[in-house]
Structure 1
Amino acid sequence: MKKILLLSASAMLALSSCVSKKQFTDLQAKQKETQDLLNSATVKLNSCLEDRATATARATALEEQVADLRKNNDNLTMLSSKGASNIEKTLESIKEKELKISRLQDALTQKDSVTLALVTSLKREVGINDPDIEVNVEKGVVFISIADKLLFQSGSYNVTSRAKEVLAKVAKVVNSKPNFECMVEGHTDSVPYSKGVLIDNWDLSVKRSTSIIRVLESLDVNPGQLIAAGRSSYVPLVDNDTAENRAKNRRTRIVVLPKIDQFYDMIEKEMKNLSAGN
């Protein structure tokens, strides 16, 4: 009997450590890199819009000059072929820059549109009237934050029946978007934890994450879209100085985001086009 218990404990310990910290860290780094690129693209776009306004004003003045010269045959002879060529080149350059700006605007707009559509879907499916469920956007990423009391019994990583109802709604949205990834983050309070084979709050946060992921898998969510992550007590919403605050910090955050590479490649391509045009 003791051997069976030891084998069971060892299996649970191995399961709780299955999270790839590198995968989670890489995703965070990729997210920051993409956000930085979006910020850079926005600055570049504003600069290009200013350049376009200046160039358009210049082109308008040149076109007016050409019109005046054509009205007067004597003055028309003053318009050299070189001058006419320069005007045509200026107009062509403006058209090319407008095309590149439009493509960059489309890339940024598409990213914003996808994010907005996802938030709308999640709020409709999950329900925003429950104060213990929050759907929001943070740094371009959509997330659902679910209070601990909806998901687990105190000090446990076994998912409650009510949690399965909420997760069924999340699974419906994720299943409708196969090109999205879903990262489940477990968060605890600062009270030390050590029960059974779990060593501390790191273990508990990760174990809760994998428990949620198993429920999502049972709801036919593609495992390739899922990422398990534990944050222990190191990303609190508020100070852990009261029971009420500790309850706020005990939560699970489900981050739903388009696969970053798609938008990264798209925006990077348009940034290169703008640089080449300059």
Structure 2
Amino acid sequence: MKFRLIIPALLVIAVVGQSCVSTKKYKDLQTNYNQLDSSNRDLKAKYLTSEQNLAVRTGRVVSLEEQLANERSNAKQLQAALDKCLTSGSQGNVNISKLVDEINSSNRYIQQLVNAKNKSDSLNLVLTNNLTRSLSQTEAQGVDVQVLKGVVYISLADNMLYKSGSYEISDKAGATLSKIAKIITDYSTYDVLIEGNTDNVPISQKNIRNNWDLSALRAASVVMALQNTYQVDPKRLTAGGRGEYNPIAENTTEAGKSKNRRTQIIITPKLDQFMELINKAPENKQ
């Protein structure tokens, strides 16, 4: 009888023991899963940021690449004409020499375009670095600075600066405007244009006639904040509104409308400052 009672007891102890071990393994696996899931989310965020940066940089060189492709196509056509001429023997030495000169001229122009593209990329890099040098690494992460053809564009969504449906500066805009003011103050001789942009949805407020009014009033609010709060010289500042007529996305979706509702701070060096920056731009070796 005692032996029969001992066997079930041992079975119960074994089952309980297995249950405890399984629970510990489950917790370990859950912890590992949570860590991997967090790491995966971080990698996805970094991937999206890299994709956006790549898209911006790719857009900057499209124009020169198109010109290069056209000139290479012309050179190919000229070379084909020369080959045909040499094969048939129907053209004289004068025509052959002319074709050779045209090919050489086209190749020289292609090389000029390549050099111009490399110089432009170097100048944009120098200008971006110079304009953001007054910001700490943390501050720079919140400011989107792009350089297109030597002009600096800082684009800010309307919800970063204004109260909803209004041209009044919001309380939370201070952190953003302080960063912009640092850049502007660091280059005290550069001209600054504040440009307001809207979507195509008509405004329905008594004191605002249309989107032209709204965009101009928003730009003026930023100008006054930079002048009064951050002591930027008002002689350097210009406020302008472009209404709904300078979109960067389709107004057929909410996401597109959100992109179009923006304020751009456009910082433009004068001609002599451009030349100084060009001299600073590093040469690219072929």
TM normalised by structure 1 equals: 0.51
User: Which residue, out of 251, 255, 258, partners 2:262?
Assistant: 251
Aligned to 2:206: 196
Alpha-carbon separation, structure 2, partners of 1:125 and 1:226: 26
What is the alpha-carbon root mean square deviation over aligned residues? 3.2
- Relative distance call for 1:245 and 1:228 in structure 2 (3 A) is same
Structure 1 segments unaligned to the other structure (5+ residues):
1-38, 40-106, 268-278
Aligned to 1:129: 141
- Relative distance call for 1:123 and 1:199 in structure 2 (3 A) is same
Alpha-carbon separation, structure 2, partners of 1:127 and 1:266: 24
Percent of pairs with identical residues: 37
Structure 2 segments unaligned to the other structure (5+ residues):
1-63, 65-118, 279-286
Q: In structure 1, the residue corresponding to 2:174 is in which secondary structure?
A: helix
Aligned pair 1:231/2:221, yes or no? no
Contact 1:118 1:142 in 2 (8 A): no
Q: In structure 2, the residue corresponding to 1:228 is in which secondary structure?
A: strand
Size of the aligned set, in residue pairs, is 162
Alpha-carbon separation, structure 2, partners of 1:149 and 1:257: 25
User: Which residue, out of 203, 209, 227, partners 1:217?
Assistant: 227
Aligned to 1:64: none
Map residues 42-191 of structure 1 onto 2, 5 A cutoff: 115-121=127-133, 124=136, 127-130=139-142, 133-191=143-201
Tell me the CA shift for residue 210 of structure 1. 0.3
Tell me the CA shift for residue 153 of structure 1. 1.9
Alpha-carbon separation, structure 2, partners of 1:230 and 1:256: 16
Question: Runs ≥4 in structure 1, deviation > 6 angstroms?
Answer: 107-110, 264-267
Contact 1:202 1:230 in 2 (8 A): yes
Contact 2:124 2:148 in 1 (8 A): no
Alpha-carbon separation, structure 1, partners of 2:256 and 2:191: 30
Q: Alpha-carbon deviations, 1:118-140, whole Å to 9, x = none?
A: 3433764783534xx42111222
Aligned pair 1:206/2:216, yes or no? yes
Alpha-carbon separation, structure 2, partners of 1:234 and 1:126: 34
Larger Rg: 2
TM normalised by structure 2 equals: 0.50
- Relative distance call for 1:152 and 1:112 in structure 2 (3 A) is closer
Contact 1:126 1:166 in 2 (8 A): no
